[in-house]
Amino acid sequence: MNAMTLIRPKRLQPGDLIGLINPSGAIYEHAPYEQAHARLRALGFRTKEGANLRARYGHMAGTPQQRADDIHAHVADPEVAGLLAVTGGSGANRVLPLLDYDLIGRHPKFLGGFSDLTALISAVHVKTGLVTFHSPLARSEWNAFSVEHFKAVAMDGRAHTLANTLVPADDLVAAEGSIHTLRGGRAQGPLVGGNLAVLTSLAGTPYLPRFDGAILFLEDVTEYVYRIDRMLSTLMLSGALARVAGVALGGFTDCPPSEGSFGSLTLDEVFRDYFMPLDVPVYRGAQFGHIKRKFTLPLGVRAEIDADAGSLRLLEPAVV
């Protein structure tokens, strides 16, 4: 996908030290930090906070330089095996021009998170060739589904299939975990994507990934439908959408029509308008994003999308 060689980080192992970072939004209570430590310890890891992890600068978790310094410190620390963001929010874009990408490339380590972390994991992947991970945050709910897929991808290094699990309910037909195929078929390509709003905020910058032949995965939360339409139009007008080989749509959580508008397209209509003309496999409902059960998706790793089955099958390991 990139001109540079793909770099795979070492697989995470029980007992590894995970460096906690907060490249985006501030957290205003102690409990989420303590819960993050407890969850990672339950996964078998040790944890280390960045020096500025609990800093605050407005709505952000410290100044951009403080947040960049924490990333650099963990990357340079030979005892730290990987970096995981505590939370998302807003503000990661400010950190990108301050990062030492040569340092990060010389010390390839696991780097994960989702939502606003789309900016960081995309930029590091683009600038270094390092496989980065659209994964649960440290403060996410680490349920059995999320743990299973995280371990398979980031710890076991398996050529894993990311497929939904239907969640039983008191209903004749389980709805949670179901998929909807917009256009069937299979295709192969490197995984690219993340949060739609954050990804499109990188348009026109040197941190936007290449979309050529890629399997694009997208999610979002609390965005009006007209805004999602505008974001997808950015990807369309830039020519990015025309270059993808397939599309997997995750959770678009709490994304209603705008209040007081004369009328609105539905999400179904917006997705149909932008993705059906592409003539590539597309499905909706993949389990990633601002939902309880989450895949771990490695950026840059080749995968096969099966839009009829609703699955993403990794064709190579994400770690060594």
At residue 173, the pLDDT reads: 76
Catalytic residue among 135, 290, 304, 311: 290
The CATH code of the domain that includes 28 is: 3.40.50.10740
What is the span of the domain harbouring residue 231? 161-314
Residue 181: exposure state from Cβ atoms within 10 A (0-12, 13-18, ≥19): middle
- DSSP code for 25: B
DSSP-derived letter for residue 96 is G
Q: Does any domain span residue 236? A: yes
Burial (Cβ within 10 Å: 0-12, 13-18, ≥19) of residue 55 = middle
Chain segment 112-148, per-residue pLDDT in tens: 999 999 999 999 999 999 999 999 999 999 999 999 9
Pairing mode of beta strands 110-113, 246-253? unpaired
CA angle 54, 35, 23 (to 5 degrees): 35
In terms of domains, do 114 and 173 share one? no
Among candidate residues 24, 37, 74, 115, the one labeled active-site is 115
Burial pattern 235-246, b for ≥16 Cβ within 10 A else e, equals bbeeebbebbbb
- Which residue in the list 24, 74, 146, 219 is annotated as catalytic? 219
Task: Specify if 152 maps to a domain.
Answer: no
Whether residue 247 is contained in a domain is answered as yes
* Cα 236 from chain centroid (whole Å): 21
Residue listed under structure tokens 């409990």: 31
Q: What is the per-residue pLDDT for 312?
A: 98
Q: Which residues contact 111 (CB under 8 A, 6 or more apart)?
A: 9, 82, 83, 84, 120, 121, 124, 130, 132, 133
238 in catalytic set:
no
Mean pLDDT per block of 10 residues along the chain (320 residues) reads 79 98 96 97 98 97 98 98 98 98 98 98 98 98 97 96 89 84 98 98 97 98 97 98 98 90 89 98 98 98 98 98
Residue 3 lies in a domain: no
Same domain? For 166 and 135 the reply is: no
Q: For residue 212, which of 234, 240, 231, 185 has the smallest C-alpha distance?
A: 240
Dist. CA 286–CA 177, nearest whole Å: 8
Q: Is 304 a catalytic residue?
A: no
User: Is 290 noted as a catalytic residue in this protein?
Assistant: yes
Number of domains observed in the structure of the chain:
2
102 domain residue, yes or no: yes
